[in-house]
Amino acid sequence: MSAISLARLVILAEALLLLLAPASHAQEGDAFKTFRQLDSSAKMPKLNAFSPSSILPQSAVAKDVRFSAKLTNTGDVMQEGLAWRVFSPIAGEDGKLPLVASSNGGSADFQLAPGDYFINVAFGRAGITKKLTVPAEGNVSEQTLVLDAGGFVLNAVAGTDQRIPPNQLSFSVYSSEVRENGDRALVMSDVKPNTIVRLNAGTYHIVSDYGDVNAVVRADIQVEAGKLTQAVLQHKAAQITLKLVSQAGGEAIADTAWSVLTEAGDVVNESVSAFSTMVLSEGNYLAVARNKDKTYQREFSVKAGRNSDVEVLMRNPRNSGETAAVETQD
């Protein structure tokens, strides 16, 4: 096997952050309608209000309480996408706080008996909890909670501007804080491109996977309250298809076992097929083909954004120091 110079397996790239123009207060909620939503809140029936009578003392007089939420202090009241939950502060036998009332949609109206409650409102993965005391006398003013939340939409390209099929892309969202063991807390996984992710304001660490071999990029993205950020990450990678052929441009030989190695000799992918297709990060590799007890190999290079076919010729088994024939795909 000929020596191949050392190259990085995982490419770290800076995200191109395309921050949308700040929306006016009347448009804060509308910004989240442009793309499909990723709502991770629990699936519960859409109830205008729900208050189990078994939780209320028979002598208690329930009071009407209205709840609303905003993305920012100066924003308008949100009309949709909210999940409201009202909990008793006294834990049940299972150690959990009993759910007293729930509602999905925009603002919510509940009838609550005098006492203490925890009010939680969620907007995707963004949320806030507030303690509320309902007095025995007098009315309760409308409760407005400020989520201090925003969101982002993720996508990626290969090279400068090569479009990546959505089914080959996935994103994971992590906390920006690094634990003592070097890990980060996972916030969301398997996020698809062009999907709104709704989160509390702050910085998040994004990991983008292109394919399932070694094409990975990372970036830190800032979520601003009331704003939707569109981030495009750049992968220095390309899709490669390996073929074992008896002559240049010939038919691919079936039942071929493939191994792809880095210049350091690490195996990054193995498969058995006539056409072995994979996404690899930019760099130099060695393709090893095994067919009918014979082994053939070729070196090849991967250029960012240039999807290519690599032909491994059946001549000179186990003895090739030439660069593989590479046909760039349109």
**91 and 213 inside one domain:** yes
Whichever domain contains 257, its CATH number is 2.60.40.1120
Rounded Cα distance between 253 and 276, Å, is 11
**Are 210 and 320 members of one domain?**
no
The per-residue pLDDT for 1 is 41
Instruction: Name the residue range of residue 94's domain.
Output: 1-235
DSSP bridge pairs for 291: 294
Q: How many domains in the chain? A: 2
- Domain boundary (235, 268, 296) is at 235
CA–CA separation, 77 and 17 (whole Å): 28
Q: 329 vs 225, which has greater pLDDT?
A: 225
* Region of residue 84 (phi > 0: left; psi between -120 and 50: alpha; otherwise: beta): beta
The pTM assigned to this predicted structure is 0.76
d(CA 10, CA 147): 36
Same domain, 68 and 137: yes
Q: Are 191 and 154 in contact (CB under 8 A)?
A: yes
Same domain, 157 and 292: no
Task: Identify the band that residue 35 occupies on the pLDDT scale cut at 50, 70 and 90.
Answer: very low
Per-residue pLDDT of 163-194, as tens digits, reads 999 999 999 999 999 999 999 999 999 999 99
Pair 21, 155 in one domain:
yes
**259: CB partners within 8 A, 6+ apart:** 267, 269, 270, 287, 288, 290
My answer on whether 208 and 255 are in the same domain is no
- Integer angstrom CA distances of residue 308 from 187, 212, 241: 35, 17, 6
First vs last Cα of the chain: how many Å apart?
31
